[in-house]
Structure 1
Amino acid sequence: MDVEDFTMIHFVLLISRQGKVRLTKWYSPYSQKERTKVLRELSGLILTRGPKLCNFVEWRGFKVVYKRYASLYFCMCVNQDDNELEILEVIHHFVEILDRYFGSVCELDLIFNFHKAYYILDEILIAGELQESSKKTVARLVAAQDSLVEAAKEEASSLSNIIAQATK
């Protein structure tokens, strides 16, 4: 199988209706200045589109596929010849997993638990390619990560109690 046969996602953006960026993940190299310009251009382009228009736009020789869920726009940039419907499915897959994890995800969940959203995205996509299509597998991996974090917090707490006792 040729490298060109895979769908390559160049970046993922989550933008609020007010134009605030809630999550970005870059799989292609962009300088910080270029990233800022991309965010400004795309938020202006996508937020001004009518709700009855299709969910993808041609932009700078790429295709940006987006879907609005509640107050957030989930956007993914792919090559011109990639399948838009496949990318809409990847977006929906990501949203379903976020919903399952947070119990009906909202913008505040992503603001206060952005690290979890990144972790979930990293379980689904690696280097801009879909790696895990099973919601159960992603949920199991995220639950395992949560239990590791909890165990580390408990250990740190008990260590700080031991140190506090020793320094009295």
Structure 2
Amino acid sequence: MATRRTMAALLVWLFSVGAFFLSLNAQELPETYRKGVDLALAKLHSLSGIQDHYVFLRSVSKSDYEMGFDVSFFYHHFYLKPTTCEKGTTDSSACEPRNDRPLMDCAVCYRMHRGEIEPEPKPYIHCLRKPAITQAMTAGRLEHCNKLGYSSGSTVLLGSTGKE
């Protein structure tokens, strides 16, 4: 009987180690997408109703398009996972994932110029606990991001006359 318990404990430990390494691999995002996740985490952790420290879990979908002149537009839909650490934790390497709380479902869209997120148009950040997200909300996110991406209102070289 003790051997079965030892074997079961070993299997649980191996599963935990595997899950830990999978979560480390999941955190590897291109820098352009990582900056959007960091923006969402900063906003989320600034909310008074949030007590847990969250970390990036995985991407659901992401897209980007080049607008020209080193300007790109990014959309990223992803999940954040709550941890055992309190919000405000700076080093999340010791934080264990929590399975007793729902994931945070986030979508961000923003414009970047030469690798930096531009303040205008203001980046869109929308995060809610996963069970609360509806299809209408998901459609609203996409609609908002499409408007943000296509109606930037910025001057382009093709629209200039060359006379100042």
Compute the TM-score of the two structures, normalised by the length of structure 2. 0.33
Whose RCO is larger (CA < 8 A, sep 6+)?
A: 1
User: Greater CA radius of gyration, 1 or 2?
Assistant: 2
**Greater share of residues in helix:** 1
Normalised by the size of structure 1, how large is the TM-score? 0.32
- Structure number with the higher strand fraction is 2
